[in-house]
């Protein structure tokens, strides 16, 4: 896991976007909650009312394309990585507000991940743990709890860190392109 690389990439996207409004932190929290909800929706395991509770892990990117141009992707992984962008962004925001180096946080995050205190018994509880830490993180709170809970969510969803890192880099590139095109 190369967290420093991801933080640096996220900082590049943050600088590219350039938004610095006073409501930035609250918008980041809401964006994270939305993305975690979208990830849960793709996972589907909480939908006890549905006969289809299988995770959505394969879909056509553009269903109307010609057969030879069809591109498949993993919607569950993509939603997880969308949330990871905001998890990383929150660390940058907290670092900016209280003046610390995000890279110094990496060892603390690694220790929290190794302690497994933020790992729940099942995926539903893990989603709820992430929601809890996302709703309680603030400038004084231990951000590493949120990161560790989110890390374990990815693990419980069956993703390797290599898959997550590659999907993050792919989506980060798309996010930069969207900024260029006025998304």
Distance CA 84, CA 35 (A): 9
Contact present, 165 and 6 (Cβ < 8 Å): yes
Q: In 3D, which of 52, 48, 44, 53 has the Cα closest to residue 76?
A: 44
- 3-state DSSP assignment of residue 58: coil
Q: How confident is the model at residue 141 (pLDDT cuts 50, 70, 90)?
A: low
Give the domain CATH number at 133. Answer: 1.10.4010.10
Q: How confident is the model at residue 112 (pLDDT cuts 50, 70, 90)?
A: low
Contact present, 74 and 166 (Cβ < 8 Å): no
Rounded to the nearest angstrom, the gap between the alpha carbon of residue 36 and the centroid of all alpha carbons in its chain is 7
Q: Show the tokens assigned to 75.
A: 């919607």
Q: Show the tokens assigned to 82.
A: 């969308």
**Greater confidence, 105 or 60?**
60
pLDDT at 111 over 70: no
Distance CA 80, CA 36 (A): 7
Distance CA 54, CA 45 (A): 7
Instruction: Please give the pLDDT value at position 9.
Output: 92
Instruction: Please give the pLDDT value at position 100.
Output: 61
Specify the range with the lowest mean pLDDT, choosing from 43-47, 85-89, 96-100.
96-100
Question: pTM, whole model, 2 decimals?
Answer: 0.88
Mean of all residue pLDDT scores within the chain: 87
Contact present, 118 and 145 (Cβ < 8 Å): yes
As a whole number, mean pLDDT of residues 140-162 equals 89
Question: Domain range holding 122?
Answer: 3-180
User: How many domains are there within the chain?
Assistant: 1
Phi, psi of 182 (to 5 degrees): 80, 30
């Amino acid at each position: 896991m190369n967290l420093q690389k991801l933080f640096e990439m996220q900082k590049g996207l943050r600088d590219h976007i350039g938004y610095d409004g006073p409501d930035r932190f609250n918008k980041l929290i809401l964006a994270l909650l939305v993305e975690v909800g979208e990830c849960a929706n793709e996972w589907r395991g909480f939908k006890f009312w549905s006969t289809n509770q299988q995770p959505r892990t394969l879909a056509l990117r553009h269903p109307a394309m010609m057969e030879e141009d069809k591109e498949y992707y993993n919607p569950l992984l993509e939603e997880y990585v969308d949330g990871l962008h905001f998890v990383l962004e929150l660390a940058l925001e907290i670092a900016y507000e209280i003046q610390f180096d995000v890279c110094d946080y990496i060892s603390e995050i690694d220790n929290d991940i190794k302690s497994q205190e933020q790992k729940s018994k099942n995926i539903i509880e893990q989603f709820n743990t992430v929601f809890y830490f996302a709703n309680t993180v603030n400038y004084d709170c231990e951000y590493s709890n949120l990161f560790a809970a989110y890390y374990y969510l990815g693990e419980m969803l069956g993703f390797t860190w290599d898959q997550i890192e590659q999907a993050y880099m792919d989506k980060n590139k798309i996010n930069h392109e969207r900024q260029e095109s006025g998304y």
